[in-house]
Amino acid sequence: MTTVYQEKDTLAPPPAERKNIFGWMLKNLFNSWYNSILTIVAAYIIFVLVRGVAGWVVTKARWEVVPANYRLFLVGQYPSMIPGQEDFIWRVWLAVYLLAAITGLAWGIWVKKREFVSWVVLLFPPLVGSSPYVTNVGLKLVGKLYGVTDVYQFPGFSAKAWALMWGLSATGLAFWALGRAFGRRLARFAVTMLLLYFPLAILIIGGFGEQGWFQAIPTRFWGGLLLSLILTIVGIVMSFPLGVLLALGRQSKLPILHSLSVVYIEFIRGVPLISLLFMAQVMLPLFLPPNVVIDRVLRAMVAIIMFAAAYLAENVRGGLQAIPQGQYEAAYAIGLSGFQTMTYIILPQALRTVIPVLVSQFIALFKDTTLVAIVGLLDLLGIAQGVIANPKYIGTQREVFTFISVFYFVFTYAMSYASRRLEKALGVGER
């Protein structure tokens, strides 16, 4: 046998670096006198802040307010809280299970690469379930530092809750396997389901008719995370077509269409969301006949959709401008009409470049929806205010708002992490 020439033998290894932590600190934190001073000052500030907060966390905070209101935070007063009435929480679970099934299916069909993020998504429900235990370990550790022995410990979830969470993962896995096995043959079905999912979920949760399993549940009972998510999803899904139309309108050569779009986009972008929400609550009735009463949640939705559409339009416009003139010319030259050129050539390419922006807009909107609390809706933040106002939990602002902040952070970070990895895996955003 001849020896195989190996390229790596010929390459010199990079010069060895000091790998230990002191080497790193010397190189990055104390490499000059002003950097050293900055490091020390910053370290001191961090120390003071953490000491204050951590002490409060393990000694004074009354964390029992959080687990006592889990359900309120998640779904608000979604029927069940009303004594003597049937509990319809299973409808929320049904919607979540459907989501798990569709996500699993789509994942099996389209995500081919093995990615760590798949595990994160698959195990997301039990991960959420184990978060109290993780928090408890942290609390104990910090407690030790402060010499506190009886630090607060969060109660775990009930066996039923655990079963439901593992059930979600199992459902996702089963449908993933299905997607894997049948692959592209299920693609059309999966796309249909993806498109149908949001209206379907809202139908399941909102219900219809007077009686029965799916009887209508008025929006004043929607609340907590459920309401925040519904507002966000409806906002993104419904603003999408409107935003695309506005972007096309702004590009249009027809002067009226063009100026209407520009005025709309610039007006909305120049107004804070909160004032749009107020306008929708107090001004909308002025435009409507006196006997028409619109739901308060619906009013907020209208404002959010109008708001999101203007920003989306600008993002789509960016995508449109990135399409070279040659694409239009080639499309016209083979005889496509202006409409066909848009539908088959320009928009598919423009929207592909916009997907990553869309995801970050979704996350931004998720945070922005907290403003509906100010106009009196009981979204996650609204519920938090309600909990604090409860005489039983008087004086627990810090605990509740800390919980809400951590919750928002974990949720949005998880979303942006998952979407970033997913974009990589699917190669979207590239042309």
Residue 128 contacts residue 114 (beta carbons within 8 Å): no
Applying CB under 8 A, among 330, 394, 406, 410 the residue interacting with another protein is 330
Q: Which is nearer to another protein, 295 or 329 (CB)?
A: 329
CB of 347 to another protein, least distance (A): 10
The reply to whether 340 sits near another protein by the rule CB under 8 A is yes
The reply to whether 390 sits near another protein by the rule CB under 8 A is no
β partners of residue 368: none
Q: Which is nearer to another protein, 259 or 343 (CB)?
A: 343
CB of 255 to another protein, least distance (A): 17
CB of 335 to another protein, least distance (A): 4
Which phi and psi (to 5°) does residue 232 adopt? Answer: -65, -50
Q: Which is nearer to another protein, 153 or 340 (CB)?
A: 340
Q: Rounded to whole angstroms, how far apart are CA atoms 189 and 195?
A: 10
Q: Rounded to whole angstroms, how far apart are CA atoms 97 and 95?
A: 5
- Tokens at 408, concatenated: 């928002």
On the 0-12 / 13-18 / 19+ scale of CB atoms within 10 A, 289 is exposed
Q: Which is nearer to another protein, 345 or 377 (CB)?
A: 345
The reply to whether 333 sits near another protein by the rule CB under 8 A is yes
CB of 328 to another protein, least distance (A): 9
The reply to whether 334 sits near another protein by the rule CB under 8 A is yes
The reply to whether 336 sits near another protein by the rule CB under 8 A is yes
Count of residues near another protein by CB under 8 A = 19
| Binding span for another protein by CB under 8 A among 84-92, 233-241, 247-255, 338-346 | 338-346
Applying CB under 8 A, among 327, 360, 397, 402 the residue interacting with another protein is 327
Q: Which is nearer to another protein, 215 or 349 (CB)?
A: 349
Closest of 229, 232, 218, 212 to residue 78, by C-alpha: 218
CB of 429 to another protein, least distance (A): 13
Q: Which is nearer to another protein, 17 or 430 (CB)?
A: 430
CB of 344 to another protein, least distance (A): 6
The reply to whether 337 sits near another protein by the rule CB under 8 A is yes
On the 0-12 / 13-18 / 19+ scale of CB atoms within 10 A, 254 is exposed
The reply to whether 252 sits near another protein by the rule CB under 8 A is no
The reply to whether 344 sits near another protein by the rule CB under 8 A is yes
| Binding span for another protein by CB under 8 A among 101-109, 115-123, 214-222, 322-330 | 322-330
At residue 239, the 3 state secondary structure works out as helix
Q: Rounded to whole angstroms, how far apart are CA atoms 107 and 90?
A: 25
Whole-number Cα distances in Å, 177 to 17, 123, 124, 185, 424 = 46, 15, 18, 14, 22
Q: Which is nearer to another protein, 332 or 408 (CB)?
A: 332
| Binding span for another protein by CB under 8 A among 32-40, 60-68, 323-331, 369-377 | 323-331
The reply to whether 397 sits near another protein by the rule CB under 8 A is no
Q: Which is nearer to another protein, 158 or 325 (CB)?
A: 325
Closest of 422, 429, 430 to residue 118, by C-alpha: 422
CB of 326 to another protein, least distance (A): 4
Closest of 316, 209, 306, 212 to residue 267, by C-alpha: 306
Q: Rounded to whole angstroms, how far apart are CA atoms 94 and 97?
A: 5
On the 0-12 / 13-18 / 19+ scale of CB atoms within 10 A, 400 is buried
The reply to whether 352 sits near another protein by the rule CB under 8 A is yes
The DSSP string of 65-102 is: HHHHTHHHHHHTT-TTSSTTS---HHHHHHHHHHHHHH
Applying CB under 8 A, among 290, 335, 391, 427 the residue interacting with another protein is 335
**6 DSSP 8-state letter:** -
Half-sphere exposure for 118 (CA within 13 Å, toward CB): 18
Closest of 180, 234, 158 to residue 203, by C-alpha: 234
The reply to whether 349 sits near another protein by the rule CB under 8 A is yes
- Tokens at 122, concatenated: 């698959």
The reply to whether 151 sits near another protein by the rule CB under 8 A is no
The reply to whether 329 sits near another protein by the rule CB under 8 A is yes
The reply to whether 187 sits near another protein by the rule CB under 8 A is no
Applying CB under 8 A, among 183, 199, 272, 348 the residue interacting with another protein is 348
Beta-strand (E) ranges in 303-379? none
Closest of 307, 299, 235 to residue 267, by C-alpha: 307
Q: Which is nearer to another protein, 338 or 376 (CB)?
A: 338
Give contact residues for another protein (rule: CB under 8 A).
324, 326-327, 329-337, 340, 344-345, 348-349, 352, 431
